[in-house]
Structure 1
């Protein structure tokens, strides 16, 4: 996600300095016209905005709070935007630590997958101070089509958790519908087309319907990451005293997909779990 997002930032005329534990990612950034950094400290040097896009809460904590991290190297007044998907409470803790040293934090997780990152059409959900959001808005609008301020720190992550709840449930139902249709020998391509044009229509049907029918599960967003996100939403719901019975089932289906070796596939591969439960899984797909 980070590389195509930064490609759009570069195309908009901004300078980008990037750091990653994987040197191959840094090399790709340099090929796109960015500048590679050898450390977090080097990535902080002289920049106005610092963005993180990493897999999980501990990674954000390490980058921001850890030894040699952002808070040890950030200039006073730096705008920090975390675009990862992490726990709302961790986002709030990180934001509080940032403010103590004069760093201005925003949590700005995204939805739209790899295609949205490439096309610059992501939905970006932002928490933090309104004035900081307004300063960040022009940059965020380079990466996203829908950019919305939702409230104080942690609000973006809370809405992202809800997003993943809906996305996971929709994938599960689309998967069930495909297995159901195929069991009756229906022309599934025609069926997906007509379903997408009615009340059952969704972005998932539009973007992933054909690839699911073709069993093309090249990852745009991996099941491993959606498993992490479902852990966030189920934990947060429990703490808030909110009942999410359908979401809990979806979380278990995604956990099953991961346990059966599908964690590295796109989350549309939830179809394989439904096929497996139905005794219809072709292991060649």
Structure 2
């Protein structure tokens, strides 16, 4: 078993860290908010007062942070992971960030002997708690093989994509489909509602045909009950889509559907609803159509 550091204990990071501890690893944690640190310490983890201190005590250090500047600061900034470098240390980033930032961090950490993997995840808080996440990995293939047992403690579908940054490209592709699916589902529900047809019965019918998808399987009943608590926050979806749009610009690629999805999620954030689940993008479509999606029918 290894000494494993985890930095960033939010909606996804905390359950992922717990699964590493359940797998028998010694866990060292650091987080801006101390409440979750205290919870994990009670469960058997130890805490460190800086990313540097986490690195000094760890064989592997994971991060799960909101955006590219956060990961860059924690890895390369003052009292960062780079300053805690030692032989054999492996850095693994579960955040969703720009591919070029992932490559930059990998290059800088390699200068002090730290090997890096970009390993963004998909599956929401449900997958994080259950240890069934999809994990997309970029970096050195030998480093990937070394880290694989730890990734298997957190995920079920783990795929090596390619060199540094490749995991983040895969995550960008994932977010294109996730966001587009959430918007498409929202439009379908609003269309049914405005047409005077029970949206729940429409969902029951189409989710058994070619339209079947994860969103239809997991989100409509919550939306009908106005349970909009986040499994994945809309503000994070908007942030991820900005990464996708910026990456597409870098590679001179046109993504018109994603551009529209990005604007709808940005509108949701502007409406003050960025803290809600990404499926709550339906509220933007409801506002545009002057309606509210609702039903008295329970989905089977």
Report how many residues are paired.
282
Query: Does 2:128 match 1:117?
Result: yes
The within-5 A match list for 1:81-230 is: 81-230=92-241
Structure with bigger helix share is: 1
2:77 is matched with: 66
Give the TM-score taking structure 1 as reference length: 0.96
2:46 is matched with: 35
Q: CA offsets, 1:91-138, max 9 Å, x none?
A: 000000011110000000000000010111100000000000011111
Q: Which runs of 5+ in 1 are unaligned?
A: none
Q: CA offsets, 1:64-112, max 9 Å, x none?
A: 0001100011212201100000000000000000111100000000000
Distance 2:47 2:33 in 1: 11
Distance 2:57 2:174 in 1: 35
- The Cα shift of 1:227 comes to 0.9
Query: Does 2:290 match 1:271?
Result: no
Distance 1:193 1:140 in 2: 35
Distance 1:205 1:281 in 2: 18
Q: Which runs of 4+ in 1 moved over 6 A?
A: none
- The Cα shift of 1:11 comes to 1.1
Is the Cα contact below 8 Å between 1:57 and 1:86 reproduced in 2? yes
Q: Secondary structure at the match of 2:87?
A: coil
Select 1:241's aligned residue among 232, 249, 252. 252
- The Cα shift of 1:45 comes to 2.5
Is the Cα contact below 8 Å between 2:194 and 2:291 reproduced in 1? no
- The Cα shift of 1:12 comes to 1.0
2:64 is matched with: 53
Distance 1:190 1:33 in 2: 47
Give the TM-score taking structure 2 as reference length: 0.91
- The Cα shift of 1:51 comes to 0.3
Distance 1:8 1:193 in 2: 34
Q: Which runs of 5+ in 2 are unaligned?
A: 1-11, 294-300
- The Cα shift of 1:8 comes to 1.1
- The Cα shift of 1:190 comes to 2.8
Is the Cα contact below 8 Å between 1:76 and 1:101 reproduced in 2? no
Query: Does 2:13 match 1:2?
Result: yes
1:11 is matched with: 22
